[in-house]
């Protein structure tokens, strides 16, 4: 996933963009997003800061939350399931599961 983010950021910069969003993504006007990929139906709350991150479908980032150098998926996607052998370690934070890169 780290390589995916690196390539995506490089392509974004070549296109003169700082981030990309999927369908239905909403970003509060006071939030900042840079060098990131936001998939479908992502919500970024007021004052949140997202930097060098991949936010998977249906992730909701709370107001003033900071996400850096990470992949974030909804908690329900992984909670109670055995992680794959090669999975990176992560932690639960609110309704999200965050995997540092």
CATH number at 18 reads: 2.160.10
Neighbours of 95 (CB within 10 A): 14
- pLDDT tens for 22-80 read 999 999 999 999 999 999 999 999 999 999 999 999 999 999 999 999 999 999 999 98
What global pTM score does this model have?
A: 0.91
| Six token digits for residue 55 | 């936010």
Q: Which of the two residues, 87 and 56, has the higher pLDDT score?
A: 56
Domain count, the chain: 1
Residue-range definition of the domain harbouring residue 54:
2-100
Residue 17 pLDDT > 90, yes or no?
Answer: yes
Tell me if residue 62 falls in helix, strand or coil: coil
């Amino acid at each position: 996933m780290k390589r995916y983010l690196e390539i995506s950021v490089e392509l974004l910069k070549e296109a003169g963009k700082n981030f990309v969003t999927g369908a239905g993504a909403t970003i509060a006007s006071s939030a900042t997003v840079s060098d990131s990929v936001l998939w479908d139906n992502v919500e970024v709350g007021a004052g949140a800061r997202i930097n060098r991150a991949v936010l998977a479908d249906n992730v909701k980032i709370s107001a003033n939350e900071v996400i850096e150098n990470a992949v974030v998926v909804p908690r329900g996607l992984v909670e109670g399931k055995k992680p794959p052998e090669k999975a990176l370690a992560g932690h639960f934070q609110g309704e999200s599961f965050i995997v540092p890169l």
